[in-house]
Chains A and B, each alone.
Chain A
C-alpha cells in the first residue's frame, strides 16, 4: 500500500485508510502515543467458552447495571426523611389527600404519580432487584453443580457468596425506604431480629435506630447504606470477581478439543462482545417490560407506616422468603432463665440458621475437599451426574430453602386452596424435614442412572426400524443419525483474515485453528 500517493477516488481513500478504515486510523493514532495495541489485541483475542449456562452470571451483571441507572434516577426525587408533612389536597390519589405522612413516603408516591417516568423507573428498579438476586442464585447453582468452585477458584467462590449476601442485604434496605405500611413491618421484624441476638441485641437495636424503634433516623441511615456503602462494595467485588475470572480463565465443559490446558470458545472480538452486548439489551428489555406491564409494590395502596398498624399477608421480597418462612414454621420456643429471655423462636430462624446457611456456602470448597481429598487444579467442569453426592447435597439444600420459601406464604396458600392455616403450617414443618431427606437419595439415584446414558446426551433420539426376517424374527435396526448428530470430523475453517494478519500471528503464537474453533493456551 502506498501511503505517499495522494488518494483521489473514494476507493483509493478507503484503501489508504487501511483495513479498519477511519476507526483503524484513530486506533493507530492512539497506539502510537499510548501503546495499547498489544494489550488491546490480548483483550480482543480473549477466549470465552460458549455454553449457555456461562451467561447466567451476565444476567446478574446487567441487571446490576439497570439497578445503578434506575437507582440514580430515583435518588433525584427520593427524600430520605421521616419528618412528617401533609399531602397536598390536589394530589392525584384521592385517599391520601391531606394525609399526614413522612417525606420519604410522600416523595415515593410523588415520583410514582407526578414525575414523568418515575413509576416506570421505580418498578424497573424493583424488578431488576428481584432478577438480580435470582440470577445470582441461578449462577451460583451452576457454579456449584458443575464444580467450578474447585481449586484454583475458591477465592472467587467466596467473592460470589459475599456478593449474594450484599445483594440480599441491599434489597432489604431498599425495600425499607418508602416508609409504607409493608416496608415498616419489614423494619419492625428486622428490629425484633436484632433484639433477639444474645447479649448485644438491645445495643445493636439502639445503635441502628438511634434509640427505640421506630425512631426518626432509620430511613436516612438505610438510605446512605443502600445507595453508597453496599453498592460501592458490590461494585468493588464485581470488579474483583471479573478480574479473577480473566486472570484464572474461564472453566469449560469437557468436549472435543477441550483439555485442562486450553480454553475453547469464541474470541472477545468479533464474537463474544456482540453476543454479550445483545444479551445486555435483552436484560434491559426484560426489566423494562416487567416495569412497564407488571405492577410491583404499589405503596400508595398501603399508606404511611405507623407503628400501631399492621396488615395481614405481608411478605418480604422473594429472596428474604426463606427467613420469613422459617420464622413462621419455628415453634414458639422461648426460655426465661436467671432473669434473661432467650427468644429461640426468633434467634434460631433469623440469626443462627442464616449464619449456618451462609457459612456452609462459604466453606463449601473446603468441606468438599475434606471428602474428596482432591487437591488438583480443575479447569474442566463436572457434569452434575458424575458427582452424585455433591449434586444430591445441593438439591437437598435447595429443597430445604425452597420449602422455607414456600412456607413464607402459608396464609396465602391456605386462603387460595381453602384449607386450614394450621394444617398448612404443620405440613410445612413436616416438609422441612421430609423433603430434603427424600431429595438426597432420589437425586443420587437419578444421577447414577443418568451416568449410563451419557454419550447420547445432546443428540436427538434415533428411530428404530423394526424388520421382520423371513424366519419371522424381528430385528430392530437403529436408523441413520439425523443430520448434524453423527460424529463427524469438522473441516478446519480458516480464521478470518481481519483477525489474524501477519503482524499479529507472530505475537499471538498460541492462537491456532483446530477443528473450526479458536483455541487459546492457558
Chain B
C-alpha cells in the first residue's frame, strides 16, 4: 500500500513535470501535489520533532500563520513545503515564530539576540558588495549587480556562508565555488539573524530528520528532479557558459535541504512541488547513498561512467594486452 501510494505520487509528479516543463515547475506542479497525503496536526502525537526549549508548540490543523510571515509564500499554499504553512509552529514568549516544520524537517529562525553581532560581521564581510543595508547594489553603481539579501530568509544566508561560497573569492566569477568556509556556523547564524531582523522571511534554517527517511523514494525523486544536472551519481557536471552543477558528495543534510528550498544560482527553487517529506528523502539519498556509493564491483572511478570505463578499457585493457603480445611475439 505504501509502495502504491508512493508510486502514484511519483507518477503524479512525473505527469506534472512532463506537462509543464522546468520553467513553470514551482507554481504549476502545485495542483498535482496539493492533496497528496497531507500530514495533519492530529496525527502528530508521536512526533519525533520538538520545538526548541522555552517555546510553545502549536499544532494547527489550519496551518494558520501570522500575516506578517506570509509575504511571498502566499503564492504557494502547499502545506509542509518549507513555508510557515506547516503542521508544527513554535512561538516564543513574545509570540514570535521561532521555528516551524513537521516530522521531516524543522525550520529554525536564528535567535534575534544574535542580530547585533550579526550586523558587525555583515558590515565586515558582506556589505562591500551587498550594501550596508543588505538591499543590494544596483548595476549602475558597479561592474556587476549584487543581489539584495533582505527578505531571502535565513536558509539562503546560511547556505551561501556555510558552503564557503560567500564571501566570494572573486565577486566577478561566473559562479561562486564551494570552498573552505571563512565564517563558522555560529557566525553564519548571526548574520542570518541580522538580515532576517531587517525583513523577516522564510525559509528558516532546516534541520533534517534523515533517520526516518525513505531512501527508495529519495532515489526515485533524485532521478526525476536532480540527476538532469547533478548526474545520477551526484558528481556534478558542467552547464552552459562556465556555470556548473556542483558535486553533491560533500554537502551536509542541512545544505541539501537549503539548496532545494532556496534554489541557489542556476538551480530552480523546489518549494511548490516537493513536500518536506520528499526533501528529507532526497537529502538522505544524497548524503547517504550518493556521498558513500555502494561500489561493490571494485574501484568506483568517481562515478564518471563510460568515460572512465572507456579510458580503462583502452589504456589498461587493450594496452596491456598489446604489451603482452609484444612480449610473446617476435619484434622483427
Interface residues of A (CB under 8 A from B): 50-56, 58-59, 86-87, 93-100, 112-113, 119, 123, 126-127, 130-131, 134-135, 138, 181-182, 253, 255, 275, 278-279, 282-283, 286-287, 290, 292-298, 300-303, 306, 308-318, 321, 409-412, 414-415, 419-422, 424, 458
Cβ-closest chain A residue relative to B300: A295
Q: Specify which of B227, B297, B330 lies most central, judged by the most chain A CB atoms within 10 Å of its CB.
A: B297
Contact across chains for A95 and B289 when beta carbons are under 8 A apart:
yes
B229 on the interface (CB 8 Å rule)? yes
B314 on the interface (CB 8 Å rule)? yes
Contact across chains for A314 and B7 when beta carbons are under 8 A apart:
no
Cβ-closest chain B residue relative to A123: B297
Bound-complex Cα distance A52 to B323 (A) = 9
- B232, B237, B326, B331: the one within 8 Å of A303 (CB): B232
Contact across chains for B318 and A301 when beta carbons are under 8 A apart:
no
B313 on the interface (CB 8 Å rule)? yes
Known contacts A317-B306, A318-B306; A301/B232 CB under 8 A: yes
Cβ-closest chain B residue relative to A50: B330
Main secondary structure of the interface of B (DSSP, over half): helix
Bound-complex Cα distance A411 to B304 (A) = 11
Bound-complex Cα distance A59 to B322 (A) = 8
Known contacts A95-B215, A95-B216, A181-B223; A313/B325 CB under 8 A: no
Interchain nearest-CB distance for A316 vs B (Å):
6
Bound-complex Cα distance A270 to B224 (A) = 61
Contact across chains for B330 and A315 when beta carbons are under 8 A apart:
no
- A297, A302, A309, A415: the one within 8 Å of B236 (CB): A415
The interface-forming segment of B71-79, B88-96, B239-247, B253-261 is B239-247
B201 on the interface (CB 8 Å rule)? no
Contact across chains for B309 and A131 when beta carbons are under 8 A apart:
no
Contact across chains for B293 and A301 when beta carbons are under 8 A apart:
yes
Known contacts A182-B232, A306-B14, A422-B240; A134/B317 CB under 8 A: yes
With A295-B301, A318-B313 known, 9 other A-B pairs at CB within 8 A are A53-B329, A181-B232, A290-B313, A290-B317, A294-B299, A295-B300, A298-B297, A303-B232, A313-B307
- A119, A294, A317, A411: the one within 8 Å of B238 (CB): A411
Contact across chains for B330 and A411 when beta carbons are under 8 A apart:
no
B219 on the interface (CB 8 Å rule)? yes
Interface residues of B (CB under 8 A from A): 2-3, 6-7, 14, 17-18, 215-216, 218-220, 223-224, 227-233, 235-242, 244-245, 285, 289, 293-301, 303-307, 309-310, 312-314, 316-318, 320-322, 324-332
Cβ-closest chain A residue relative to B312: A294
Bound-complex Cα distance A64 to B16 (A) = 46
Q: Chain A residues near B216 (CB, 8 Å)?
A: 87, 94-99
- B6, B220, B242, B328: the one within 8 Å of A278 (CB): B328
A-B contact pairs, 27 of them (CB 8 A): A52-B325, A56-B325, A59-B322, A94-B216, A95-B219, A96-B219, A100-B3, A112-B296, A127-B313, A131-B318, A135-B318, A181-B223, A275-B328, A282-B324, A290-B317, A294-B316, A295-B298, A301-B289, A308-B18, A310-B228, A312-B227, A317-B306, A318-B309, A410-B238, A415-B237, A420-B242, A458-B331
Cβ-closest chain A residue relative to B229: A312
Interchain nearest-CB distance for A350 vs B (Å):
17
Contact across chains for A312 and B237 when beta carbons are under 8 A apart:
yes
Bound-complex Cα distance A292 to B296 (A) = 10
Q: Chain B residues near A298 (CB, 8 Å)?
A: 293-297, 300
Q: Chain A residues near B18 (CB, 8 Å)?
A: 308
- B7, B298, B317: the one within 8 Å of A130 (CB): B317
Which 8 A-B pairs have CB atoms at the shortest separation, nearest pair first? Answer: A52-B329, A318-B310, A130-B313, A295-B297, A414-B238, A311-B232, A50-B330, A55-B325
Interchain nearest-CB distance for A60 vs B (Å):
10
Known contacts A94-B289, A306-B14; A290/B2 CB under 8 A: no
Contact across chains for B306 and A59 when beta carbons are under 8 A apart:
no
- B224, B244, B299, B304: the one within 8 Å of A309 (CB): B224
Known contacts A94-B215, A100-B7; A411/B237 CB under 8 A: yes
